[in-house]
């Protein structure tokens, strides 16, 4: 049987284990092979300090490729072990996409630590007599290549295989054809392919043996002899997979003594692959699924077995890596989780077109944070993205999240080809009314490989594209080769618009929103004396009002969003004019919103959160304090979630506190 080492490299987050490597390790062990999973990212974090590592791995935009720059195979050449990045090289990188000056100044020190890590760990692995070294390249291709290069220099007989997101499809073929120190590349799902490779190596085969020639290629693998096309393997039966084990990650994390509290750690689970929505209608900017868009999900019993295993680690956060929740789980998995009343916090990606009852079930099942795919509050822009939802779906999900205690991570994107500036200005007029709901991030759309903007760009208004500027510096390859290697691209639209003209306005509004959120509330509370509305948003015209019965009825009817005629249809002829006037008053107050030809209530219902014994004179204080507590809790979840980018001052403070601790 083969002896195999699988390595997680910087800048994978240290706060979670590698699900891919852990799963592959278990699959290989089932077939009799000896496997070690080594978290070299944890070792690098110990070298440079956890705060600075987290800044680079979780806070910087992925398309800056800063971590890949530090581990560039151009810089990390075993034949030139004393090479240092020149100031001109660093300046050229910074000029392409502006970076904080302090971070650029830290590059030489960070690079020296990268060089030492690669040298020491490659020598250690080479000395231990492994048959195969495998590296996950999920958005960290350069570190994997540099480790592979040093390993082959230390032990030319050691076989090296790369897999993961940066090796999918043509990217994998480009890797195997341009980096001679890589023996094999897995361009798709790895479970069957890696078992095939391990069996081949255990039988004495290798990259120069005749077993890897002619018709006996290794299914699922590219090799140096067969670098362009992999023999297909059947899709993996997800229910046949073992439950991944994460003890090695926890042991290595504890040994590194990084000071990361258990409450900040995440245990990943996988309950499906692909995207059932994307298989029907592919969002124009999404490249996450590559060539595996077809949706497959696990049986409920398999899901529960994996969740039970995740709970056994005593880590409170369980993160589903699925691209989208299987809606059939609302009838199976979620009711069972709700019945068990566990204490973990689950994360899932969902569609925003859910009902309130479905959200309530998610909350009962322990799903405390969702990524609902909200990318805009403008229906015309959402249509341009092919999102399959309207703005009112997105708004009401955020409102119900406020009611139920479900945090949401979401964005407002701009810069799509052929978008209209007027649609953004219309949205800007509406956004201040939403300042009591969870705020977004804002950013310009990125062109990723495998997205429709990439493979069908001209039809969608892409006039031209090129790999992100950092690729040219990280890899010494021709531009046409980089075009096959890159995952991130820059592009020009065919409409001649400058989206930054309104993008800067959007970012300013979002900054105001985030600043105002903790103290902004709009809510309704039903008591024995009627329906109270409290409003502390910056746009509020009335801080508190006891609604009359007709107004209260309208507010409740508009909870899901209803057309104006439907709202007024239930009132008798004698009350129609009064109801219409009440509707106008609620719209003017900003407690109802007219959007997508519907009227939607913006006021979350806090009635279930209010004890019946609350004295009337304390109702306002109690409601507003409950809202503030919930908002602070949501902000804490975002801070721990790593998806948010910290402000430059926070990054600088982290660096200054850490660099003195050994990054030299």
What are 605-656's pLDDT values in tens digits?
999 998 888 888 899 999 999 999 999 888 876 544 333 333 333 333 333 3
- Region 560-585 average pLDDT: 91
Whether residue 643 is contained in a domain is answered as no
Collect contacts of 637-641 with beta carbons under 8 A, ≥24 apart.
Answer: 637/368, 637/369, 637/407, 638/407, 638/409, 640/263, 640/264, 640/317, 641/369, 641/409
Q: 504-531, pLDDT tens digit by residue?
A: 999 999 999 999 999 999 999 999 899 9
Domain shared by 424 and 488, yes or no: yes
- Measured between alpha carbons, how far is 70 from 82 in angstroms, rounded to an integer? 15
Whether residue 663 is contained in a domain is answered as no
Structural domain harbouring 566: 522-633
Indicate whether 369 pLDDT > 70.
Answer: yes
Domain shared by 447 and 508, yes or no: yes
- Region 28-55 average pLDDT: 97
| CATH number of the structural domain spanning residue 287 | 3.80.30.20
Whether residue 639 is contained in a domain is answered as no
Residues 6 or more apart whose CB falls under 8 angstroms from that of 327 comprise: 276
Q: Provide the pLDDT for residue 299.
A: 98
Domain shared by 492 and 623, yes or no: no
Domain shared by 343 and 274, yes or no: yes
Indicate whether 587 pLDDT > 90.
Answer: yes
What's the total number of domains in the chain? 3
Whether residue 648 is contained in a domain is answered as no
Report yes or no: 391 and 431 within 8 Å, Cβ to Cβ. Answer: no
> Residue 202 in 3-state DSSP?
helix
Whether residue 661 is contained in a domain is answered as no
Which of 519, 541, 564 finishes a domain? 519
Domain shared by 550 and 437, yes or no: no
Which of 519, 553, 583 finishes a domain? 519
- Measured between alpha carbons, how far is 598 from 583 in angstroms, rounded to an integer? 12
Domain shared by 339 and 458, yes or no: yes
Domain shared by 8 and 145, yes or no: yes
Domain shared by 32 and 101, yes or no: yes
Report yes or no: 493 and 418 within 8 Å, Cβ to Cβ. Answer: yes
Domain shared by 131 and 24, yes or no: yes
Report yes or no: 599 and 564 within 8 Å, Cβ to Cβ. Answer: yes
- Region 98-106 average pLDDT: 86
272, 275, 276, 277 alpha-carbon torsion, rounded to 10°: 150
DSSP class of residue 605 equals B
Domain shared by 435 and 557, yes or no: no
Whether residue 554 is contained in a domain is answered as yes
Burial of 504 (0-12, 13-18, 19+ CB in 10 A): exposed
Domain shared by 120 and 233, yes or no: yes
Report yes or no: 17 and 268 within 8 Å, Cβ to Cβ. Answer: yes
Whether residue 642 is contained in a domain is answered as no
Domain shared by 422 and 504, yes or no: yes
Which of 501, 519, 537 finishes a domain? 519
* Cβ atoms < 10 Å from Cβ of 508: 12
Whether residue 42 is contained in a domain is answered as yes
Average pLDDT, the chain: 92
């Amino acid at each position: 049987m083969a002896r195999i080492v699988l390595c997680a490299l910087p800048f994978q987050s240290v706060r979670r284990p590698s699900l891919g490597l852990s799963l592959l390790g278990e699959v290989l062990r089932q077939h009799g092979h000896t496997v070690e999973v080594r978290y070299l990212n944890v070792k690098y974090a110990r070298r440079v300090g956890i705060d600075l590592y987290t800044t680079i791995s979780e806070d910087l935009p992925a398309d800056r490729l800063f971590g890949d720059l530090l581990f560039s195979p151009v810089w990390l050449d075993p034949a030139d072990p004393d090479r240092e990045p020149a100031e001109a090289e660093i300046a050229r990188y910074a000029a392409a996409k502006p970076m904080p000056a302090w971070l650029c100044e830290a590059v030489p020190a960070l690079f020296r630590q990268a060089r030492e890590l690669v040298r020491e760990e490659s020598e250690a692995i080479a000395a231990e007599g492994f048959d195969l070294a495998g590296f996950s390249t999920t958005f960290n291709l350069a570190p994997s290549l540099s480790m592979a290069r040093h390993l082959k220099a230390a032990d030319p007989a050691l076989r090296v295989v790369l897999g993961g997101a940066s090796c999918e499809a043509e990217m994998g073929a480009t890797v195997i054809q341009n980096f001679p120190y890589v023996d094999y590349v897995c361009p798709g799902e790895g479970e069957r392919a890696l078992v095939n490779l391990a069996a081949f190596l255990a039988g004495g085969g290798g990259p120069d043996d005749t077993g890897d020639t002619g018709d006996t290629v290794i299914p699922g693998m590219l090799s140096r002899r067969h670098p362009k096309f992999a023999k297909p393997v059947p899709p993996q039966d997800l229910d046949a997979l073992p439950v991944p084990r994460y003890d090695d990650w926890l042991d290595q994390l504890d040994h590194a003594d990084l000071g990361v509290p258990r409450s900040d750690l995440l245990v990943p689970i996988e309950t499906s692959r692909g995207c059932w929505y994307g298989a029907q209608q592919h969002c124009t900017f999404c490249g996450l699924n590559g060539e595996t868009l077809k949706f497959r999900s696990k049986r409920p019993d398999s899901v529960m077995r994996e969740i039970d295993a995740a709970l056994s680690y005593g880590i409170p956060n369980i993160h589903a890596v699925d691209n989208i929740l299987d809606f059939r789980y609302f009838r199976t998995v979620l009711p069972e989780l709700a019945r068990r009343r566990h204490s973990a916090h689950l994360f899932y990606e969902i569609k925003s077109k859910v009902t309130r009852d479905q959200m309530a079930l998610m909350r009962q099942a322990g799903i405390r944070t969702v990524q609902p795919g909200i990318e805009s509050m403008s229906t015309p822009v959402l249509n341009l993205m092919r999102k399959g939802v309207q703005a009112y779906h997105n708004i009401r999900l955020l409102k119900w999240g406020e009611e139920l205690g479900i945090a949401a991570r979401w964005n407002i994107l701009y810069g799509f080809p052929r978008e209209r500036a007027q649609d953004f200005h219309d949205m800007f007029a509406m956004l201040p009314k939403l300042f009591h709901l969870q705020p977004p991030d804002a950013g310009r759309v990125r062109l990723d490989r495998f997205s429709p903007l990439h493979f069908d760009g001209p039809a969608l208004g892409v006039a031209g594209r090129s790999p992100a500027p950092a690729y040219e510096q990280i890899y010494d390859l021709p531009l046409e080769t980089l075009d096959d290697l890159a995952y991130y691209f820059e592009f020009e639209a065919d409409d001649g618009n400058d989206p930054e003209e309104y993008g800067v306005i959007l970012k300013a509004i979002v900054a105001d929103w985030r600043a105002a959120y903790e103290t902004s509330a709009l809510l309704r509370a039903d008591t024995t004396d009627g329906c109270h509305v409290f409003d502390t948003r910056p746009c509020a015209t009335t801080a508190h009002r006891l609604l009359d019965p007709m107004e209260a009825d309208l507010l409740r009817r508009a909870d899901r969003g209803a057309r104006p005629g439907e709202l007024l249809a239930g009132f008798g002829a004698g009350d129609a004019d009064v109801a219409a006037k009440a509707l106008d008053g609620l719209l003017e107050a900003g407690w109802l919103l007219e959007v997508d030809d519907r009227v939607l209530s913006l006021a979350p219902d806090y009635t279930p959160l209010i004890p019946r014994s609350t004295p009337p004179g304390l109702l306002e204080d109690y409601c507003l304090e409950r809202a503030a507590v919930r908002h602070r809790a949501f902000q804490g979840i975002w801070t721990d979630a790593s998806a948010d980018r910290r402000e430059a001052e926070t990054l600088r403070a982290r660096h200054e506190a850490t660099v003195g601790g050994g990054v030299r």
